[in-house]
Amino acid sequence: MIELLVVILIIGILAAIAIPSFLSQKSKASDAQAKTLAHAAQTAAETLATDNSGNYSKVSPAELKLYEVSIQTTATETEAYLEAAEGSSTGYKVVTKSPSGDKFTIERRSGGEIVRSCTQATGSKGCSTGSW
């Protein structure tokens, strides 16, 4: 009987250690989905500019969705989506939002520099450094 109690105690300790680590994996997966979506939007923006002689002024969520139909533009709580996209003649900015609330941005500045940044949602553990 004592041996059985010891085994149950050990299983309980292992579960207490493992469960919190598994719970954080869901937010990591949704953040990864948002990053992938941001990259898809970046590729679509570059393709759009190629078709318009290097001009990014047509970059918008609707235009990017025309170039890449897999880009989710409708807000949802279960999947990452493209929250904003804007362009100028020399650059663009795309912002995706993860179900965890974290926002991931890819910006192409006028000099051609690509900058990736993120904003951490309240209570989220992702995006603690401000970049990705």
DSSP letter for each residue of 60-115: -HHHHHHH-TT---S--SSS-EEEEEEE-SS-EEEEEE-TTS-EEEEEE-TTS-EE
Is 72 among the domain residues?
yes
Single out the residue of 44, 64, 68, 39 nearest to residue 132, CA to CA.
39
pTM higher than 0.75, yes or no?
yes
Residue 124 lies in a domain: no
Per-residue pLDDT tens listing for the chain (132 residues): 889 999 999 999 998 888 887 777 888 888 999 999 999 999 999 999 999 999 999 999 999 999 999 999 999 889 999 999 999 999 999 999 999 899 999 999 999 999 999 998 877 777 777 788
Backbone angles phi, psi at 49, to 5 degrees: -65, -40
Instruction: Find residue 94's DSSP bridge partners.
Output: 85, 106
Residue 21 placed within a domain: no
Q: Judge whether 105 lies within some domain.
A: yes
Chain CA centroid to CA 34, Å: 2
Domain extent at residue 60? 28-119
Residue 33 falls within a domain, yes or no?
A: yes
17 inside domain:
no
Question: Would 4 be classed as within a structural domain?
Answer: no
In a domain, 126, yes or no: no
- Residue 21: the pLDDT is 78
Q: What are phi and psi of 104, to 5 degrees?
A: -120, 130
DSSP letter at 121 equals P
Domain count, the chain: 1
